[in-house]
Structure 1
Amino acid sequence: MNPLLALSIALRLAGTGYSVALLYRSGDRRFAFLTVMVGLMASRQLWTAQTAGGTGLEELPGLVVSVLAVATVHYLARYVAEESRIKTELEETNDRLRSFRKAVEHAGHAIFLTDTEGTIEYANPAVEDVTGYEPDEVVGTNPRLWKSGEHEEAFYEDLWTTITAGEVWDGEIINRRKNGDLCWVDMTIAPITDADGDVEQFVAVDTDVTDRKERELRIREQKTRLELLNTTNEVIRDVNRELVQADSKAEVEAAACEQFAAADPYESAWIATRNVVNDAVRAQTSTGVDDDTLEAVIAAINDADRETAVDRALETDATQVVAGTDEGGDRYAAVDAAATVAVPLSYRGARYGALVVHASDPGAADAVDVDVLDELGETVAYAINAAESKRLLVTDRVTALTFRLTAGDDPLVALADDLECELALERLSSSGDGDLVAYVTVCETAADDVLEYAAESDGVDDAQAVCDRDDECLFRFVVTGSSIVATLAEHGAVVRSLSADGGEGRLTAELSETADVRSVVEAVSGSHPGASLVGQRERERTAETRGEFRTTLEERFTDRQREAIQRAHFGGFFAWPRESSGEDLAEQMDVSQSTFLQHLRAGQRKVFEEIFDADEATDVDRRRGVAASAD
């Protein structure tokens, strides 16, 4: 057989077997076609080998065809393998893309793609949860669709500049939902670039953080409120400390204003009172605000077409808190107040004005504790009351108020009305339990009738007849009913006289020259509607010095009385236990014990007369005697 022919046949048979193997391995029908084709070619050459002869050079083209057939099978095998690899990779890529799409579609974050102009090309379903718009509604639009207007234009310009430069923008933004509600969004915008780095698209991922943000704001608000409460408590402690050292009404008011004005977020403070003539609001004391500015604020309050917080604080016992414009107009614009607090200064019915505090923080209107400030107002008012009472004891100029009373205004007047008698108040003091004790002279009635009346009365208790004279009797009463005497004493007034004839009484009390007469009269009118002010005058009060008081006593003592008292004092006769007896002191004076005691008792009586006798006691002595009623 011709060698060339044999080689050609062998190649074709090998190609057929190779193609069959590849067909079996890959299952690709193209190898079946090659198998048939190469097999037929091999069959033809086998036929030729059996029927033909010659040199075999004519079989050279067939050999070349056989080589090409085998090469075709080989390269087809490589192509099929590469195609299979690519197909596998495409399938894997498609699987990943499908997984990615599922992830994007089911993501809890709003994800959308835009072109380089910002037009939305794709939006996942979560966009509806974040913006309120369905995906189909936003595709083809611009994210400006949910712009809230809460940010400045510079904010959006910075965002756009960042992403167009190929950088990632990450931050918090406030959007407006389709229903108009505001929502806080944590947004990340990233550019999608090509191989050359040019931006092709933008991808944005939005996370709704409204709940978290509102929680943070609540926590921040609570923290601010706590800090403000702590500041207010510190101010109150400072005010209380300063009040202890204040000696006058002006010092009390100044201390309250200064402590508030010096603490953040408070800016200024002033004391508001009423003008007695026209009932207009006026400033008593101020800190942190100049006179012109304060006058502007007061003018706005007085020109108001309806009641302001300051008006309400002056008329009630409740602290008033308002934001800057809560009253239908910014009445406190002159002091740039974001919040205003008006604390009434009221103590047991007497009103001493209102402490008005302006704050720079609008949150102060919601953060203050009105109950604490109510207590502070009462404390300041008590300090004013105490300062006025203290000043009354040492001042030389006083305001005398005279009231006409009815039986319903005081238990003592009621006693005179029921028993149809006359009475006069001699002395006021207080019992160990703090009850008001009155020493009263009652005329034109039997002592037993008075005691019987007191036993059945709800107004007086524990009546005792101290001294029974011909037509009058001195009684000691514990006054338990609503007494105008107690009301005046609580508000810094000292009762100088009280008399009653039947159902009508008359009372005179004194106030220091700096006292707020209006508040005292209002307290009396509020507690005793039947009482009417019938007289008010200012007068000088002669102050008796300690030396003058001592001289008066010296002039009343006899030599023996003075010696007896001095020996008893220096000899320890009044000490307990006694350091010397009456017998010892009498022997020293060379008199009998009874004579010594007679001189001693006479001298003591004269001392007590100077202190307690209303007819002969000086103003200083009276002040000492009634100080307990003011306390």
Structure 2
Amino acid sequence: MNGIIVTSIVLRVVGVGYSLVLLRRSGDRRFGFLTVLLSFMAARQLLTVTGTPGGGLEELPGLVVSGLAVLTIYYLDRYVDEERRIKAELRSVNEELSTFEKAVEHAGHAIFFTDTEGTITYANPSVETVMGYDRETVVGENPRLWKSGKHDEAYYDELWATISDGEVWDGEIINQNESGELRWVDMTIAPVMNDGEIEQFVAVDTDVTERKRRRLRIEEQNERLGRLNRTNELLRDVNRRLVTATTKEDVERAVADRFASDPWVVSTGIVDRTASGRLRTRYQTGDEDVLNAILDSTGDGMATVTTGVDHGRTGVSTSVRSFGQGESTADTVGVIPLTYRDSQYGAVVVATRTSELFECIDHDVRVELGDTIGSAINATERRRQLVDDRVSELTFSIDDVNAPSFELAAATGSNVILMRTTTGCDDKRVVFLTIRDVDCETAVEATADVSGLHDPTIVSETDDECLIRAVTTDSLADTLASHGATIEGFTVEADGLHGQLVVDVPTGGDVRPVVEALRERFDACELVARQERERPVDTADGFRGELETKLTDRQLEALRTAHLAGYFEWPREHSGQDVADMMDVCQSTYMQHLRAAERKLTANLFDDSAADAGETSRHLVEST
């Protein structure tokens, strides 16, 4: 047996063993095929050796085949190892891709891919919740699908320029979903690169609408709080200035100047109407040209002013054309009527750059502010009425068959004289009326039937006249008092058709509001006379001296002792018996002195003015 044959047999046997080892290790059936092949080749070689002897050269090709088979097994082993490694890597990559796919599919953010032209090639399910469109709908579409129109073209040009340069774009964008609702989205767009070239774009969108709305609400609330603080400061300053104002002019100046000091305000004025019906400005501050232009204009702004001045209704007009130039431009007019009960003192007209000032001062606050200013004006007018020594006496001829006093005169066929008006329980207005030449019971019944007079009672009666107390819902005294005027006498003739009213107005005061108030109140009212007269000045010392001249020594002692002993306190510090013992008299005698002193005290306090009113009224009756 030559060396070639032996070598061939050895190679084939080694190949079979090697193939069996690899088959066992890898389980690859290809090694099983090689094992069988080499086994048959080795068996054939053995059979050949045990057969007819030869030179052995005929086995040389078999030897080559055996060598190649062994090499094939070796390289197949290397291939299987590489294949196993590649498969392991592929499994790892596939697992990562699967995890990534699951993450994208289940992400709460909207994630979509587009090609380089912007056409959407993939969209995850969250696109439906973030963008408001089905994912099947958006694939194949362009993101322009949800443009809201809130951004200009320059905004989108800058976005595309950024991502086209291979950079990441990140920002907040307003989109519109399929139902038309605006949504705020936090968007990040990144290019996907391959060998330096952009293959596609990936966008990640987060719906931040609720967060944005909360932030906007907070910003709006903070801004509104800032405006409210400024407005409250303005209102507080106005109220503080009203406290120190002593005249009507002081009140108007304080209000207008404080409004004009606000950065929003261009011009402020106190506006009313003249007797001829023309609008006038009593006091003005700021840019006068702006306010004058508004008063000379037509349209919503002027309508708001006239409504406030003529009808006492507050209003704000934001649709007026702009007045003024530059920083003095005003496009909002606010009107705050100045009222006190039924009286009107014009209105505060405020021209502002924006409507923000009046957005912070709601309707009810403006009404209350106007009432406060009107009350302050009324208080200054009343104060001047009290301190002025001279008054203007106005005499009016009045015809009004429907007024309560006229109805009562017609019902009783008697002259009716208004003696006094005062405030009763529960802030009800009470009038005292003298009715002449009529039975008191008849007068009470007639009074009860008059509209505007309620709960009449007899206060006193004489042979020729009756004094009746009644609650009224139509107080003439209040109307006049709101304009700084007082009633000096009011008599209605027995026919109930004619009456005469005498009113005192402080000298230098504006009588026009008084005249207008009376003309508005009565069907026919004519000012027939006006004269200046001195008003007697009563002092505390004068009142005390006059009272002491009317009291006896015992009456004065009884009154002073009761006062000092706390008899008039509640609860009483000493009883009537205690005070009588102090004076060393019996209780009945003491009470007689005290009652007499109280009667003279109240008479000195009330009877003089009542008597004056009665005398004035009697004079009016005689003169008519």
* In 1: Cα distance, 2:162 partner to 2:552 partner: 101
Q: 1:379 Cα shift?
A: 2.2
Q: How many residues matched?
A: 586
Among residues 290, 295, 308, which one is paired with 1:313 in the alignment? 308
Check if 1:614 corresponds to 2:609: no
Q: Does 1:213 align with 2:212?
A: yes
2:69 matches 1:69: yes
Q: How does 1:186-205 map to 2 (within 5 A)?
A: 186-194=186-194, 199-205=198-204
User: Which residue of structure 2 aligns with residue 294 of structure 1?
Assistant: 291
Give deviations 1:337-362, integer Å, cap 9, x for gaps.
56554333333232223334455555
- Counterpart-to-counterpart distance in 1, 2:133 and 2:528: 78
1:97 aligns with 2:90: no
Secondary structure of 1:34 counterpart = helix
- C-alpha deviations, 1:446-471, integer Å up to 9, x for none? 556545655776726564555747xx
Matched residue of 1:575: which SS?
A: helix
Q: Distance in 2 between matches of 1:211 and 1:239?
A: 41
The one-letter amino acid of 1:494's match is: T
Structure 1 residues 473 and 170, CA, compared in 2 at 3 Å: closer, same or farther?
A: same
Q: SS in structure 2 opposite 1:497?
A: strand
Distance 2:359 2:550 in 1: 72
CA contact (8 A) 1:347 1:381 kept: yes
Report the alpha carbon displacement of residue 204 of structure 1 after superposing the two structures with TM: 1.1
Which one of the candidate residues 575, 579, 584 is aligned to 2:560? 575
Partner of 1:10: 10
Contact 2:507 2:532 in 1 (8 A): no
Residue aligned with 1:372, SS: helix
- 1:389 and 2:382 equivalent? yes
CA distance in 2, matches of 1:534, 1:18: 140
Which residue does 1:534 correspond to in 2?
A: 526
Distance 1:336 1:405 in 2: 51
Deviation (angstroms), 1:134? 5.8
Q: How far does the alpha carbon of each residue in 1:539-569 deviate from its partner, in whole angstroms, 9 at most, with x for none?
A: 544355679x999999xx9xxx998989999
Contact 2:397 2:528 in 1 (8 A): no
Q: Aligned partners of 1:43 and 1:485: how far apart in 2?
A: 145
Equivalent residue letter for 2:560: A
CA distance in 1, matches of 2:6, 2:358: 111
What is the distance in 2 between the residues matched to 1:176 and 1:268? 43
1:317-355 per-residue CA deviation (whole Å, 9 max, x = no partner) reads 554345x33xxx536687655655433333323222333
Q: Residue deviations 1:342-396, cap 9 Å, x none?
A: 3333332322233344555556665543223322222222222222222233344
> What CA distance in whole angstroms lies between the structure 2 residues aligned with 1:44 and 1:605?
161
State whether residues 419 and 613 of structure 2, in contact with CA within 8 Å, keep that contact through their aligned partners in structure 1. no
- Give, in angstroms, the shift of residue 248 of structure 1: 2.5
Range with greater deviation from structure 2 (337-346 or 242-251): 337-346
Q: How does 1:470-619 map to 2 (within 5 A)?
A: 472-473=464-465, 475=467, 477-502=469-494, 503=496, 504-512=498-506, 524=518, 528=521, 530-535=522-527, 539-542=531-534, 575-577=560-562, 613-614=611-612
Greater shift in the superposed pair: 497-506 or 39-48: 39-48
Counterparts of 1:18-417 in structure 2, within 5 Å, are 18-51=18-51, 65-101=65-101, 103-105=103-105, 107-116=107-116, 118-124=118-124, 126-127=126-127, 130-131=130-131, 142-153=142-153, 155-177=155-177, 180-194=180-194, 199-225=198-224, 227-229=226-228, 231-262=230-261, 269-278=268-277, 280=279, 282-287=280-285, 289-300=286-297, 303-304=298-299, 308-316=303-311, 318-322=313-317, 324-325=318-319, 330=321, 336=329, 340-358=333-351, 362=355, 368-395=361-388, 396=390, 398=392, 400=394, 402=396, 404-410=398-404, 412-417=405-410
Q: Secondary structure at the match of 2:246?
A: coil
Root-mean-square deviation (Å):
4.9
Task: Find the residue that maps to 2:151 and give its secondary structure.
Answer: coil
Q: Note the alpha carbon deviations across 1:425-458, whole angstroms, 9 max, x for none.
A: 4555555765555555544445565456557767
Partner of 1:595: none
- Native 8 Å contact 2:418 2:433 kept in 1: yes
Q: Comparing both chains, which one has the higher relative contact order based on Cα–Cα distances under 8 Å and sequence gaps of 6 or more?
A: 1
Instruction: Report the identity percentage.
Output: 41
User: SS in structure 1 opposite 2:525?
Assistant: strand
Tell which deviates more after alignment, 399-408 or 181-190.
Answer: 399-408
Please report how far the alpha carbon of residue 225 of structure 1 lies from its aligned counterpart in structure 2 after TM superposition.
Answer: 4.5
SS at match of 1:577: helix
Aligned mates of 1:607, 1:247 — CA distance in 2: 28
State the match for 2:585 in structure 1. Answer: none
Deviation (angstroms), 1:86: 1.6
What TM-score do the two structures reach when normalised by structure 2? 0.75
Q: Structure 1 residues 141, 520: closer, same or farther in 2, change over 3 A?
A: farther
- Contact 1:392 1:398 (C-alpha < 8 Å) held by counterparts: no
CA contact (8 A) 1:404 1:507 kept: yes
The CA deviation string for residues 120-169 of structure 1, in whole angstroms up to 9 with x for no partner, is: 44444554555556667656665445433323555445434543454433
- Alpha-carbon distance between aligned partners in 1 of 2:511 and 2:35, rounded to the nearest angstrom: 128
- In structure 1, what is the Cα distance between the partners aligned to 2:177 and 2:378? 59
Unaligned segments of structure 1, at least 5 residues: 582-597, 619-631
Post-superposition offset of 1:498: 0.6
Distance 1:425 1:179 in 2: 74
Q: Following the alignment from structure 2 to structure 1, what is the Cα–Cα distance between the partners of residues 292 and 24?
A: 107
Counterpart residue identity of residue 408, structure 1: N
What is the SS of the residue equivalent to 2:562?
coil
Looking at structure 1, the residues matched to 311 and 613 of structure 2 have their Cα atoms a distance apart, in angstroms, of: 42
In the other structure, the counterpart of 1:418 is 411
Q: Is the 8 A contact 2:429 2:473 kept in 1?
A: no
Letter in 2 for 1:236: L
Change (3 A) 1:605 1:271: closer
Note closer, same or farther for the CA distance 1:2–1:338 as it changes in structure 2 (3 Å cut).
farther
AA paired with 2:402?
G
CA distance, structure 1, for counterparts of residue 88 and residue 508 of structure 2 = 103
Q: What's the offset of the Cα at 1:475?
A: 2.7
State the SS of the aligned residue for 2:185.
Answer: strand
Give 1:522 shift. 5.8
Whole-angstrom distance in 1 between the partners of 2:477 and 2:322: 41
Structure 1 residues 579, 83: CA separation in 2 closer, same or farther (over 3 Å shift)? closer
Query: Could you tell me how far apart the structure 2 residues matched to 1:92 and 1:21 are?
Result: 28
Cα gap change, 1:147 to 1:420, in 2 (>3 Å): same
Is the contact made by 1:437 and 1:476 (CA closer than 8 Å) also made in structure 2?
no
Residue ranges of structure 2 left out of the alignment (5+ in a row): 566-578, 580-595, 617-624
Structure 1 counterpart of 2:586:
none
Q: Which moved more, 1:187-196 or 1:152-161?
A: 152-161
Distance of aligned partners of 1:83 and 1:604 in 2 relative to their CA distance in 1, 3 Å threshold: closer
> Once the two structures are superposed, what CA deviation does each residue of 1:521-544 show, in whole Å capped at 9, x if it has no partner?
565566x4x443211776544355
| Distance across 2 between alignment mates of 1:536 and 1:200 | 100
